[in-house]
A and B are shown apart, each in its own frame.
Chain A
């Protein structure tokens, strides 16, 4: 079963930051552990909310708005998609993720929709 891990409220050190090397090593070690278990599907950091643009099409007109869909104080900073045995494994990996020590990680199961074709090109 696949799970989306949404990483909230966790600031990422810039490469010039003295903490960067250590943070990078820890995140890479986490990805190694996910790969070792055969769970790693995808994962990326996101830009901050300032770079977000929201699109909606209404009556054939495309509406473009600056900013995220919902303005909240919670900042979505990145995600992983992990293929796990069950929720226990997903929660265990979320707790192993170094970002869980600073921010919070929401674990959402992905839904299997019969007939939906999302194989990569």
Chain B
């Protein structure tokens, strides 16, 4: 007799998303799929005492499928009061169909990231269904109450079922738009993981790599993987031991993760070979320049100019202006910074302006801008950094 706990746990950990994706694809119902997969695992804990089946995934899926059919039958019979009603056998939910499905995780990712769901619901659902986090873990990551988050998940799953949100990978003509929603969700998960520690960030990188494995011909997915790896390579050097922010130029390069940088450059090369550049590849190319010593600022400025043309946004315009300041001088940068509209409440706009004014020997105006930046910043590390800059002015 063996203890089946570890075996069940291992199969669940390694195959959960794949099994869930297949069940959702066949039954079209997230909540039902999750419940019956849990039931199947609970049964495995009791049944696998005599040994683990040859194909544990097929065993779990078959049990889960039978549970789902039982439930659907009960619902159906409960509704139709006549005793003579024959119990339907649901040929569309056959075990053969369930087991013949391939890897449906990509369909699951597209469904979770459907633009008909609110963005926060897309992020939470992807973290739960694809990554496998619990509602409690996701709530802590987003500083939300667990009950609020659980409700958000339930509402999203019901909308998928009731509104007929597709459970398949979108048709070719819808793919570009839908893929950009998937990539945005993955990137949001990564940026939100920043305060949550290395574990959640690793999950985000793994998720990006999973999408890249499932869509090997999409260069933007590879661009996102490269971008995240480059962020990760510097994550250890971003803060001092006391939690103080360290500017990129002042970071201890020996604390950068060289292996990650090499991996990122390789992934980016593969992406670029497709000859279809997009916003994530451009951002990764910029990040590669930043890890060079010294960075080629005119190249960075040119990359930001391209990014600005594809995806105009005031924040990208600000980054472009800062790169121009480095390559052409503070005066040229300041002209561009001051021409940007819509960032009056963004602390980094004021901080960039303050820095350029300082370099142009206009300390009074610089002090005023640093004060404004400090007032608008919310992150404690940002605030301390700006306060130090202000104190250092002549």
Contacts and interface: CB of A to CB of B under 8 A. Distances in A.
Nearest to B115: A91
A30 B40 CA distance: 48
B62 interface: no
Interface in B153-171: 162-166, 170-171
Given A91-B116, A114-B79, A114-B80, A109 B174 contact: no
Nearest to B160: A87
Given A87-B116, A91-B116, A114-B80, A109 B163 contact: yes
Contacts of A1: 164
A59 interface: no
Nearest to A111: B162
Contacts of B166: 85-88
Interface string A17-57: 00000000000000000000000000000000000000000
A86 B164 contact: yes
B14 to A, nearest CB: 31
Tell me what chain B mostly uses at the interface: helix, strand, loop, or mixed.
loop
B324 to A, nearest CB: 38
A39 to B, nearest CB: 13
Interface residues of B, number: 12
A92 interface: yes
A109 B171 CA distance: 21
B162 A109 contact: yes
Contacts of A90: 164
A72 to B, nearest CB: 22
A109 B160 CA distance: 11
A93 interface: no
A84 interface: yes
Contacts of B170: 88
Interface in A61-112: 84-88, 90-92, 109, 111
Contact of B165 (A87, A92, A111, A114): A87
Contacts of B165: 86-88
Interface of A: 1, 3, 84-88, 90-92, 109, 111, 114-115
Given A3-B164, A85-B166, A88-B171, 8 more contacts: A1-B164, A86-B164, A87-B116, A87-B163, A87-B166, A88-B165, A88-B166, A109-B162
8 contacts: A87-B116, A88-B170, A90-B164, A91-B116, A109-B162, A109-B163, A109-B164, A114-B79
